[in-house]
Amino acid sequence: MVAYNYLLKWSDVIGIQRALGSTFFTNCAMSFKNEKYYLVLHGEAYAHEGTAIMYGQGIQQMFTESIRSNDNFSSFYNQIYNKFMTEISVELCENKTTSELLETSQIWFHNMTVFIDEVFRIRNEISSSMKKTLAELISEVTSVYTAYISLQIFSVTASFGLSMWYFSCLSKMNNKISKFALKVEERTKELLKEKRLTEKLLFRMLPRDVAYTLKTTGKSPASEFSEASIFFSDVVGFTAIGSRCSPMQIIDFLNEMYSFFDDIIDKYDVYKVETIGDAYMVVSGVPTPNGQAHAYHISKMAVDIRDEMIQFTIPCLKNQTVLIRMGIHSGPVVAGVVGRKMPRYCLFGDTVNTASRMESTGEGL
């Protein structure tokens, strides 16, 4: 891991050297500040190279072979790169025309790019070796764990001995994994950003109190509510509408209608549970109990939806008006989060079933 990190730093330094060298050969001059900076970078490059070779088995051999296999790069590395910022730098660009200086700059840029590519290739080989070693380590630990479980059945004494060996192996594995923790530090900011986005999405999918409990404790137990009112609605003849409109038109229609509903329910103490197709489910008194006010809020919301739907039309059917069925019932319910990959806040109980049946057997309004 140390060798990999220093190879990464080495390639970054070479990239900066490539830019400074290209600028030098283009103008055949370099400011004192940039010259000093280049010399510092050159020292860092050798330091990073030496550290990577010291900690990475086979890195020196791989780099030596890559130099030998490319005559042009070998000549560049030994004759130009290693002697840059000496008298040879001036000789390479002195008494040359602008086009010749540009060509020299391009040669420098090309060879430094080859240099970076070689370091990148070596870094990839080291990474593959690390992955292979880690896979072998995981396989080894898995085998040890399986043996430990089997032997535990036959002998308590042997089980104790194997458990000590197992924990020793885990300790060794943890020591190796701790070396990879350096990489985690570099990703901390990105993880925090993703965490904020995840929390924002979670608060949209679940009630805020429930989402906060789930986030802080890792679980959200189901709750029983003695008083609540459930509202269901769907579009009358939705199947027929779907057969006469394109899928995109149906999506636009539902999106517009549900946005219309959402604007209405924002006026009341209610919570939208879910929308499935043309079905729309709302509850009052859950997840925050509101005494006996739940019936008022659900009923008043339903009346507002009914009154406002008179002016709502279906664009793809020449502005045909929409009829909806509604069902309401009050009583006790149980609410909780269901699922892990895509958690949903669900309601259960006879109250929910009764409200659903009242909606499905009702007449369109």
Nearest alpha carbon to residue 66 among 129, 9, 119, 113: 119
How far, in Å, CA of 209 to CA of 337, rounded?
12
For residue 301, what are the contacts with CB-CB under 8 A and spacing of at least 6?
231, 264, 265, 267, 268, 270, 282, 284
Q: Report the pLDDT value the prediction gives residue 285, as an integer from 0 to 100.
A: 92
Q: Are 258 and 330 in contact (CB under 8 A)?
A: no
Phi, psi of 314 (to 5 degrees): -105, 110
The pLDDT of residue 156 is 75
Nearest to 231 by CA among 324, 322, 298: 298
To the question of pTM greater than 0.75 for the whole model, the response is no
* Residue 207 preceded by cis peptide, ω within 30: no
What local confidence, expressed as pLDDT, does residue 37 receive?
81
Alpha-carbon distance of 127 to 1, in angstroms, equals: 8
Residue type, 193: K
Q: Provide the residue ranges of all domains of the chain, joining segments of one domain with +.
A: 1-186, 188-221, 222-360
Which residues on neighbouring strands pair with residue 233, listed in sequence order? Answer: 280, 326
Provide the b/e sequence for 153-164 (b: ≥16 CB within 10 Å): eeeeeebeebee
- DSSP one-letter code for 97: -
The pLDDT score that the predictor gives to residue 293 is: 93
Gyration radius of the chain over CA positions: 35
Residue 176 is predicted with a pLDDT of 80
Three-point CA angle 255, 256, 259, nearest 5°: 85
What type of residue is 197? L
Q: Which CATH number fits domain 222-360: 3.40.640.10, 3.50.50.60, 2.60.40.420, 3.30.70.1230?
A: 3.30.70.1230
pLDDT by position in tens, the chain (length 365): 776 677 777 778 778 877 777 777 777 777 778 778 877 877 787 787 777 777 767 776 676 666 666 666 666 665 566 666 555 566 666 777 778 778 877 877 887 787 777 777 777 777 777 788 788 888 888 888 787 777 777 777 767 777 787 788 888 888 888 777 778 777 888 878 887 777 777 666 777 778 777 777 777 788 899 999 999 999 998 888 888 888 898 998 889 888 999 999 999 999 998 888 889 999 999 888 989 999 999 999 999 999 888 888 887 887 788 888 999 999 999 998 888 777 888 899 999 999 999 998 888 77
